[in-house]
Structure 1
Amino acid sequence: MSLERRQLLAGIGGIATLSVAGCLGGDDDQPTTLWHDFSDAEETDLVEHAERFNEERDDELNLEAISEIEDQLSTAIPAGDGPETFAWAHDWVGNYHEQGFAYDAADDVNLDLDATFTDAAADAVRFDGAVYGIPYGAETVALMYNEELVDGPPETLEELVEIMDDYHDPAEGQYGLSCPPADPYFTSTFLHAFGGYFFDDETESLGVDQDEFIEGVELLQESIWPYVPQDPAYESQVPVFDDGNAPFAINGPWEIDGFRDSGIETTVAPMPDIAGGDPTPFTGIQVWYFTATLEDADEEALETAIDWAEWHSTDEDVILTNAENHGFIPVHQEYADDDELGDDVEAFAENVAMGVQMPSHPRMDQVWNPVEDALEQVFNEQESAEDAMNAAADEIRGRWE
């Protein structure tokens, strides 16, 4: 899950916290609560799904849209005021295990995870023998192009660069690409291209100061960064494609509805081939987390949280809606290989197939920010790729100690 998305995705649907509990009913004395930071279109479908789930239930699920959800959860859960469940990518599982923020539902879940979901999805919700949630979809970033400006997707990075170069004219407000250039999640396709890695879950080794990773940074520096706006912030990059001023974007399924609502004929494509390497984006599994709030919850609240996660992740209408409307790749085994879910899902699935799953080890939490800071220094020509990544590695290892 991208760092920028952690901070900004909630803003797509509005900055203020929004409760829809009043729409869905529920017992105000003991509400079972779900937090999310979905975009407007995702939230619309979520509300419809929750209304259907709540039919004839005594303990109805209450939904709350939360801005800055990471900060809100880190404060609310220790205080016992957090939700029973919330949606996020799997990369928090290890960190939540270590902090005691998650509830182990291994004895409460009724689904056979291994028989129901793909191997990657079933593994994503487990840590150290515990089960901390239920998976409901896979996602990654992909190359998107504006059909009014580009005839078809480039097959190679060289082809991509050639088209970007033809279009790029910052003096006229036109750019070759919309992509948060220093965000490790969005740029992972290139950082991993030559065998580099951020962190290895199994060996617990750091890879950002390895030659292969630095070569990926230099690839970004040469082939991608010259064609994006000079402000690296997410909110400065997205409008470039959204306003029709860039032929390409690198982004995720959460932005497709917004681009198309703006009138951009957006097509999702595989990441282009990279000479001497392989495009390898980070992939994520979307999860309904069970929080430590359930430790002291009554039996009805526990049952509601578990029932919701299991129902949402296995209901056919929910799975198909998430795929067809929002580009989420099904992780339920019966639908994971369905080739009739639309072009968006097919294209994202191609990118997932070439990708690598985000590490979920607690130590990875200390990797994101130093790497982003280092990439910004290289992007702004303040440091060489080698010096910046060596400094980031020193900072990360110091945090681990």
Structure 2
Amino acid sequence: MRRSIPLAAIAGVTLALAACSGSGSGSGSTASATASAKPTLSGTLTMWVDETRIDSMKPIVDEFQQQTGVKVDLVQKVSGDIRTDFVSQVPTGQGPDVIIGAHDWTGEFVNNGVVATVQLGDKAKDFSKSAVSAFAYNGQQYGVPYAIENIALVRNNKLLKDTTAKTFDDLVTQAKTANTPFSVLIQQGDKGDAYHLYPLQTSFGAPVFKQKDDGSYTNEIGMSGDAGTKFAAYLQKLGKEKVLDASIDGDKAKQAFLDGKAPYIVTGPWNTTAFTKAGMDISVLPVPSAGGQEAKPFVGVQGAFISAKSKNPLLAQEFVVNFLTTEKVQTELYKSGGRLPALTAAASKVDDKVLAGFNAAGSTGAPMPSIPEMGSVWSFWGTTEVQLINGQAADPAGAWTTMITNIQNAIATKK
């Protein structure tokens, strides 16, 4: 059994992702993982990866090329463009054979007909059920998982030690005793970053979408009303107090923490590898509540999708369904990327206090919604939060209510 892995806690809600359906259906193209003889592999496999995943994927691709003798064209795409480019280019035949990304892209990909179904067959039982179900939609499987992740609070133990804050405000007060330029780094940037603020938001009882008893997401906005407007006012407060700074994007937050300019950062395992390599003594903790309820970060699953218009579907199948699912490969991806393997055999051998901290912090987390309505949320959500942090919204409640209306209208126009 794995040590301090919270998948049992999130399995119920994540399994329900299969039921989080819009009106879309699959492409009809299927990548199969049957026990039949492997086909002769030839041609070139084109794979898209963003800047946060490419360093981990390079050695894996090299290994695949050595084993098969085929060429893999690994293309780095900007994280902000990779998903939309895939949706727009696949129908024209210009997209990749394989794209590496997050499970919450599934609904949009399926509804646009740009991904093929995959059949894991007996391999499915070798994975965490939650990881496999994260890529399920309308009863079909559309991706193969390789890692599970969530964000948490990371502390620089050189600056602060043995501090336990019951609330986020207490945390800020403690952080200020370190006399550093920043107290708690939470990345934002010009367009905002609602993902990294989500634990604080959920602690006000304002989830992005409401969930059913089985954990599956509805398309009803859950962050409206008093809970949402109280969170909006709290964001404005953090902005006025200079706790949050919208000019601090992901790269700046990471570097500031590396430079010892803050005792705390809210981030994920994709950054802690750099911290430990730099010799930093860190601890990973749950994000304290700001609104009185449990702080629930998004839980995400990383994996591979096969294009519905792949020029070499057999080669794509071999990489995604047969090669990426091996214990050796999943272990290598964990070692280079710091994310918990989705494969049970690989995850059971992980013994790392940093990753254990992330798993504990994610034990109360909620899966990122993969419903297509989620695509209408991010832009309005992030922009409004930046306005609140910057003090551009004189009336926080009014700004938040306008955001909800804009999101609801955007969802309605896509039905």
- Shorter-chain TM range is 0.7 to 0.9
Shift of 1:340: 4.1
Deviation string 1:153-175 (CA, Å, 9 cap, x unpaired) is 53422441222232456xxxx11
SS of equivalent residue, structure 2 residue 218 = coil
SS of equivalent residue, structure 1 residue 105 = strand
- Does residue 64 of structure 1 match 2:75? yes
Query: Is the contact made by 1:208 and 1:390 (CA closer than 8 Å) also made in structure 2?
Result: no
The 1:221–1:322 alpha-carbon spacing in structure 2 relative to 1, beyond 3 Å, is farther
Give the alignment partner of residue 310 of structure 1, picking from 321, 324, 342.
321
SS of equivalent residue, structure 1 residue 189 = helix
SS of equivalent residue, structure 1 residue 156 = coil
* Root mean square deviation, CA, Å: 2.7
Give the alignment partner of residue 64 of structure 2, picking from 33, 47, 53.
53
Q: How does 1:136-175 map to 2 (within 5 A)?
A: 136-152=146-162, 154-157=164-167, 158-167=169-178, 174-175=181-182
SS of equivalent residue, structure 2 residue 265 = strand
- Single out whichever of 250-259 and 186-195 deviates more from structure 2: 250-259
Match of 1:13 in 2: none
Shift of 1:207: 1.8
- Distance in 2, Cα, partners of 1:53 & 1:258: 26
- Does residue 180 of structure 1 match 2:190? no
Deviation string 1:242-289 (CA, Å, 9 cap, x unpaired) is 321111111112222333455544432232355731010011110101
Shift of 1:357: 0.6
The 1:347–1:220 alpha-carbon spacing in structure 2 relative to 1, beyond 3 Å, is farther
Give the alignment partner of residue 244 of structure 2, picking from 206, 219, 228.
228
SS of equivalent residue, structure 2 residue 92 = coil
Query: Is the contact made by 1:167 and 1:247 (CA closer than 8 Å) also made in structure 2?
Result: yes
Give the alignment partner of residue 228 of structure 2, picking from 206, 209, 213.
213
- Distance in 2, Cα, partners of 1:190 & 1:274: 6
Shift of 1:193: 1.0
Shift of 1:389: 1.5
Match of 1:248 in 2: 264
- Does residue 288 of structure 1 match 2:301? no
Match of 1:37 in 2: 50
- Does residue 377 of structure 1 match 2:387? yes
Match of 1:11 in 2: none
Match of 2:204 in 1: 194
- Single out whichever of 90-99 and 314-323 deviates more from structure 2: 314-323
The 1:35–1:349 alpha-carbon spacing in structure 2 relative to 1, beyond 3 Å, is same
Query: Is the contact made by 1:177 and 1:241 (CA closer than 8 Å) also made in structure 2?
Result: no
TM-score w.r.t. the length of structure 1 is: 0.81
Shift of 1:105: 2.5
Match of 1:83 in 2: 96
SS of equivalent residue, structure 2 residue 341 = coil
Structure 1 segments unaligned to the other structure (5+ residues): 1-26
SS of equivalent residue, structure 2 residue 68 = coil
Match of 1:277 in 2: 293
Match of 1:327 in 2: 338
Match of 1:364 in 2: 374
Match of 2:218 in 1: 203
Amino acid at match of 2:206: G
Shift of 1:100: 1.5
Among all aligned residue pairs of Structure 1 and Structure 2, give the percentage whose two residues are the same amino acid: 23
- Distance in 2, Cα, partners of 1:340 & 1:202: 31
SS of equivalent residue, structure 2 residue 144 = strand
Higher relative contact order (CA 8 A, sep 6+): 2
SS of equivalent residue, structure 1 residue 191 = helix
Shift of 1:359: 0.5
Give the alignment partner of residue 102 of structure 1, picking from 115, 118, 122.
115
SS of equivalent residue, structure 1 residue 137 = strand
Deviation string 1:274-318 (CA, Å, 9 cap, x unpaired) is 573101001111010111223xx3xxx222212212345432233
Shift of 1:125: 0.9
